[in-house]
């Protein structure tokens, strides 16, 4: 178990910890058995006790479980990132990103409800704020040509509203999963990050007009070029929690491209 300097000399019984954390003694014993959470001491009666350092470790476990990581993946994260305070700081940033995202969703839904109840006209651009496919028109045309933009623009405009919502939801989920992986402390070469990179490339391949979607296109160059842009351009980096999160995405995509494209 890592040392974090959070010990206070006080410890809590396994029953107290289970109650405070909303888990069970059986779960805590299992975490001990697989090496994830070591008690600070074991009493003569066989009861496990946990100090402040152990509670910090448990908090990290529970946070990572909420991100959907399995126990083997959590063990890998702990092995790679032994500084608990630094790891929790990164996780806090991810939680703030999630808080902001949920706040915007709440506002959007509230506006929709109020408009519908008042008999007003629903404004799609407010309901689905956050995706403007024309905002990078100049960059797309400069980098990949006017034909590339024309194809993707025609594809987008040809979609029905339900299709646009579905595609937008898929894009948002991918971004959310990237943020979660970066917040978990996973390494760019980890199975979790590489699966995300695979999904990301498949997402790019689904957009007509991009080099990834064209037969004979330079998919590898396109992916690595975009990966660098995610870091260099603050507008893109903001989608991944800032420069550090974008750097994680870039590194994972570069590794995937070298191995698979």
When mean pLDDT is compared across 109-118, 129-138, 231-240, the lowest value belongs to 129-138
* Co-location of 241 and 136 in the same domain: yes
90 assigned to some structural domain: no
* Co-location of 140 and 54 in the same domain: no
When mean pLDDT is compared across 20-34, 91-105, 190-204, the lowest value belongs to 91-105
Residue ending a domain, among 66, 85, 104, is 66
82 assigned to some structural domain: no
User: pTM to 2 decimals?
Assistant: 0.51
84 assigned to some structural domain: no
DSSP 113-167: HHHHHTT----HHHHTTT--TTTTHHHHHHHH-HHHHHHHHHHHHTS-HHHHHHH
204 assigned to some structural domain: yes
Phi/psi at 54 (5° precision):
-65, -35
The tens digit of pLDDT for each residue in 130-152 reads 444 454 555 555 555 566 556 66
* Co-location of 58 and 136 in the same domain: no
Domain span at residue 20 reads 11-66
* Co-location of 62 and 134 in the same domain: no
Residue 242 gets the label, from left (phi > 0), alpha (psi -120 to 50) or beta, of left
Q: Which pair of tokens denotes residue 87?
A: 């790891």
Share of the chain above pLDDT 70, in %: 77
110 assigned to some structural domain: no
- pLDDT number for residue 195: 94
167 assigned to some structural domain: yes
Cα-trace Rg, the chain: 23
Residue 36 sits in a domain whose CATH number is 1.10.1660.10
- pLDDT number for residue 36: 92
104 assigned to some structural domain: no
Mean pLDDT across 206-222: 73
116 assigned to some structural domain: no
Mean pLDDT across 87-113: 74
Ranked by mean pLDDT, which of 53-62, 165-174, 238-247 comes out on top? 53-62
- pLDDT number for residue 132: 45
On average, the pLDDT of the chain sits at 78
Q: What share of the chain is helix, strand, coil (3-state, %, to 5)?
A: 70, 5, 30
pLDDT higher at 180 or 252: 252
């Amino acid at each position: 178990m890592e040392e974090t300097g959070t010990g206070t000399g006080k410890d809590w019984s396994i029953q107290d910890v289970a109650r405070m954390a909303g888990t069970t003694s059986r779960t805590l014993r299992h975490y001990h058995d697989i090496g994830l959470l070591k008690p600070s001491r074991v009493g003569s009666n066989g009861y496990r006790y946990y100090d402040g350092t152990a509670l910090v470790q448990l908090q990290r476990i529970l946070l990572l479980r909420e991100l959907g990581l399995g126990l083997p993946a959590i063990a890998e994260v702990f092995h790679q990132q032994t500084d608990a305070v630094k790891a929790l700081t990164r996780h806090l940033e991810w939680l703030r990103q999630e808080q902001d995202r949920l706040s915007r969703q709440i506002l959007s839904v509230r506006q929709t409800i109020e408009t519908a109840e008042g008999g007003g006209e629903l404004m799609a651009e407010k309901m689905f704020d956050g995706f403007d496919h024309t905002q990078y028109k100049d960059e797309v045309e400069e980098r990949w040509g006017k034909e590339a933009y024309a194809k993707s623009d025609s594809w987008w405009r040809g979609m029905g509203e339900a299709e646009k919502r579905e595609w937008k939801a898929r894009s948002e989920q991918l971004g959310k999963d990237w943020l979660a992986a970066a917040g978990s402390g996973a390494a760019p070469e980890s199975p979790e990050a590489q699966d995300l990179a695979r999904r990301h490339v498949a997402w790019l391949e689904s957009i007509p007009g991009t080099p990834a979607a064209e037969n004979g296109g330079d998919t590898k160059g396109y992916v690595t070029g975009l990966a660098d842009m995610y870091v260099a351009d603050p507008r893109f980096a903001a989608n991944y929690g800032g420069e550090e999160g974008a750097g994680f995405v870039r590194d994972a995509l570069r590794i995937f491209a070298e191995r698979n494209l």
